[in-house]
Structure 1
Amino acid sequence: MVARLAGGVALLGGLVLLAAALLTVVSVLLRWLTGQPVRGDFELVSIGAGLAVLCTLAHGSATRANILVDTFTQWLPRRATGALDAFWTLAWAVVLLVIAERMAQGAYETWANNMRTIGLLALPFWWAVGVGALCFALAGVISLVWLPRLFRGER
């Protein structure tokens, strides 16, 4: 169930990135045809691209698509490599969950201080930071779900 959620979030991130790309195309075409781009295109594209990247974190953790370096451990028994993978997956989960907590705190402070983007639209962006926190938290939880399997030597 968690892996499906991660896949759905990644798909949503892909759609957001596609929307940002389409906005860029429309803005460039308008600039070329009328001399005026879409107002605030830089702000919208930067928020969209950032969210799209964060939305893929959980899917990468769910599919174990992160970078694995096993050159020096191939000779070890499967359970030993599983224990090493579990250790580093635990470290990865801790890092993800700490970042999620810090981003959640940042989202609250951004909201409380009414911080906005620097640009034409001056958009509030606390919600984007909050979505990022949720993406990090989901990736961290998925990494924790992998731990028992890795300790058993499964991949």
Structure 2
Amino acid sequence: MALTASPGGRPQHGPVALLCRALMLAGGAMLLATALLTAASVLRRWLLGQPIPGDFELVQAGSGLAVFGFLAFGTLRRANILVDSFTSWLPTGLCRVIDAFWNLVWAAAAALLGWRMVLGALDAWRSDTRSMVLSMPLWWAIGLGALALLATALAALRCALQPAEKT
């Protein structure tokens, strides 16, 4: 099975799948980096009595970006939480229509959130919003989150247009 495959086993190809895979790998790398930073900060606190300055700011940004990085890949894989207690008895075709509808709703919600985050990133850039300890600009993190949400919207749209086979 390929790295990005639908639950039916068909490999996912194309630019949307490539973007989702890249964001997922970047999210995993970011999560690993935040874990290593946390361990290093705890070790430094234990040895020297002081943490790494701004560690909590970096962990906040990194953890948030990691989660955003996983959203599109999880959507494309249809690995989100599905509640089909009320639809499992329905015909497969009707279940596909219902799934497509909710994927369209998810695509619209993710696109709306992504658009608003783009505006938030632009506002943070214009106002030069920075973190408290490191004085790190925040617009780039908000912008990356917006990119991940827009990719999630594309993945949800793709899922709506290409329904999964019944497994």
TM bin, normalised by shorter chain, reads over 0.9
Runs of 4+ with >2 A deviation:
none
Q: How many pairs were matched up?
A: 152
Whether 1:62 aligns to 2:58 is: no
- Measure, in 2, the Cα distance between the counterparts of 1:29 and 1:19: 15
- Measure, in 1, the Cα distance between the counterparts of 2:51 and 2:70: 29
Deviation of 1:122 after TM superposition, in Å, equals 1.6
Matches within 5 A, 1:24-39: 24-39=38-53
Who is 2:137 aligned against? 124
User: Match for 2:39: what amino acid?
Assistant: V
- Identical columns (%): 47
Q: Which consecutive residues of structure 1, in runs of 5 or more, have no partner in the other structure? A: none
User: Match for 2:67: what amino acid?
Assistant: V
Correspondent of 1:73 among 87, 90, 106:
87
Deviation of 1:31 after TM superposition, in Å, equals 1.0
- Measure, in 2, the Cα distance between the counterparts of 1:148 and 1:134: 21
- TM-score, L = length of structure 1: 0.94
Q: 1:25-57 deviations in whole A, cap 9, x for unaligned?
A: 111111111112111111111111110111000
Q: 1:56-80 deviations in whole A, cap 9, x for unaligned?
A: 0000111001111111111211110
User: Match for 1:122: what amino acid?
Assistant: S
Whether 1:43 aligns to 2:57 is: yes
Who is 1:148 aligned against? 161
- Measure, in 2, the Cα distance between the counterparts of 1:96 and 1:39: 34
Who is 1:82 aligned against? 96
User: Match for 1:36: what amino acid?
Assistant: Q
Whether 1:107 aligns to 2:116 is: no
Q: Which consecutive residues of structure 2, in runs of 5 or more, have no partner in the other structure? A: 1-13
The alignment's C-alpha RMSD in Å is: 1.2
